[in-house]
Structure 1
């Protein structure tokens, strides 16, 4: 289960052309594998997300990429963060994740969510539907995927999906944990309590305690032992050997996103710099340590290194900084 996960969310790097792209991605995964991360994750999208880059930026298909990274790593679990349920038939998804588990020697995890990025649904001709539709689909999907990942047969005559005594051979090598991503209080966290092994929360730090309380309430209502569920929180990070180097990496990222940081005041920069936990190892380590110690029930983090994860040594530095928190 995730204590320290590295998500690799972007694939457009300065000076890196397509023939060299996988090499840069694989290097990040290898650095994570060697420096104390326990999980490597990639997004399941077809277009880049607006908060990270332009829709036309590079985006690699997640399960093909994860299978390739299985051959580049030895220890880390491998997962999407998270699979868009709307993109695949649930039985086919179970087969895909099982194949990843076999290829990786038992290191697959299923991260899954309802799906939300309407632009890529429309562009690819995938039905988007209403908010309610997508969460109904997710719940039915979990009733098919879950049994198949446990080596059982699955049958369902649902509104959205059907399965008729579906088989999944070979079964996964070991237990494949199911992580549900998101922090919706009525639907998402209730499904975590009912179906999942792990919750990955996307929320402001100030809202974390409340989200943990809501999850505990759902567990109590369903008779689920809350301690059975691992909770990780998604964070954005930029680390460098010194404070000044980290700031330089942050400003370079903002410039690549179309800002002219040289003409911006500190007051103008502050909101953008505040979106990311950045600094030297001491500064970053203190922030994560404080957050972990302040929230009983928070087990770990999934970390994006959007500004500088592609730079050689940065992922390794973050692993060396944060892994001791979980020793």
Structure 2
């Protein structure tokens, strides 16, 4: 279960072309693997997200990448954060995740969500539909996928998907955990309570308690033992040996994104820097420790500013492993 996960959300690095790209990604995964992270997760998108860069920034297909990372790592679970359900037929997705489990010798995890990035749906000719459509699709897909991952033949005559005795042979090496991503209190967290082993919430820090209360209420209504569900929170980091180095690496990241913050005041920088736990190891460790509370088991963390720099992921793992425990 994910208590300390490292997510790789971006694949555009200074001076790195396609020929060296996998080397830099694999370096991050290896550092996570040896420094205490329990899971390595990658984006499942085809275009870069607007909060992280431009649509034409590099983006790798996640399951091909995860299968390659299985050969670069030994300990961490491997997952998307999270699979866009709309992108794949659910029975095919079950086969894909099972194959990842086999090639990684039992280290696959399924992270899944309803899908939301309309631009890439339109560009790739994938039906986007309404908000309600996407959540109805996700619920039907989960019924097929979970049956197949648990060794059952899946059959469903749904509004969106059909399956007829869909088999999944060979079966997974391990019991593949299912993580549902998102913080929607009415739909997403209800599905977590009904179907998932894990919840990954994305929300402002001051909304953590509200999300945990919503999940607990859904569990109670469905008769689910809340303690069966592991909950992690997504929060970005920029760690370096000194505060000054971390600040410089954040500013360089914003430079690459065309945001001129070097000459900005602290007040003008604050909204951008607030998206990160940043600084030296003591400061970053204190930030994450302050967010832990009963019901929140850990974090998924990405480092879009400086995760590509050798040693930074390892430093973060060494800093947070003693805190997460």
Class of the TM-score when normalised by the shorter of the 2 chains: over 0.9
Q: Partner of 1:229 in structure 2?
A: 229
Q: Give runs of aligned pairs for residues 85-96 of structure 1, distance below 5 A.
A: 85-96=85-96
2: CA distance between counterparts of 1:34 and 1:290? 25
Q: Partner of 2:5 in structure 1?
A: 5
Q: Partner of 1:110 in structure 2?
A: 110
- List, as ranges, runs of 4+ consecutive aligned residues in structure 1 with deviation greater than 6 Å: none
**Alignment TM-score, normalising by the size of structure 1:** 0.99
Q: Partner of 1:270 in structure 2?
A: 270
Question: Which of 289, 295, 298 matches 1:297?
Answer: 295
Instruction: State how many pairs are aligned.
Output: 325
Q: Partner of 2:164 in structure 1?
A: 164
**Alignment TM-score, normalising by the size of structure 2:** 0.99
1: CA distance between counterparts of 2:41 and 2:241? 24
Pair 1:204 & 2:197 matched: no
1:262 is paired with a residue whose SS is coil
2: CA distance between counterparts of 1:26 and 1:239? 19
RMSD (Å) for aligned C-alpha atoms = 0.6
2:107 is paired with a residue whose SS is coil
- Report the alpha carbon displacement of residue 61 of structure 1 after superposing the two structures with TM: 0.1
Q: Partner of 2:280 in structure 1?
A: 280
Q: Partner of 1:143 in structure 2?
A: 143
Pair 1:308 & 2:306 matched: yes
2: CA distance between counterparts of 1:288 and 1:273? 15
1: CA distance between counterparts of 2:34 and 2:28? 10
2: CA distance between counterparts of 1:272 and 1:46? 25
- Report the alpha carbon displacement of residue 259 of structure 1 after superposing the two structures with TM: 1.7
2: CA distance between counterparts of 1:115 and 1:274? 26
2: CA distance between counterparts of 1:216 and 1:110? 22
- Report the alpha carbon displacement of residue 290 of structure 1 after superposing the two structures with TM: 1.3
- Report the alpha carbon displacement of residue 267 of structure 1 after superposing the two structures with TM: 1.7
Q: Give runs of aligned pairs for residues 19-58 of structure 1, distance below 5 A.
A: 19-58=19-58
1: CA distance between counterparts of 2:276 and 2:93? 33
1:130-176 deviations in Å (ceiling 9; x for gaps) = 00000000000000000100111110010000000110000000100
Question: Which of 315, 321, 324 matches 2:319?
Answer: 321
Structure 1: stretches of 5+ with no match in the other structure: none
2:185 is paired with a residue whose SS is coil
Q: Partner of 1:257 in structure 2?
A: 257
- Report the alpha carbon displacement of residue 271 of structure 1 after superposing the two structures with TM: 1.3
1:86 is paired with a residue whose SS is helix
2: CA distance between counterparts of 1:77 and 1:211? 25
1: CA distance between counterparts of 2:14 and 2:90? 37
1: CA distance between counterparts of 2:211 and 2:109? 23
Q: Give runs of aligned pairs for residues 231-246 of structure 1, distance below 5 A.
A: 231-246=231-246
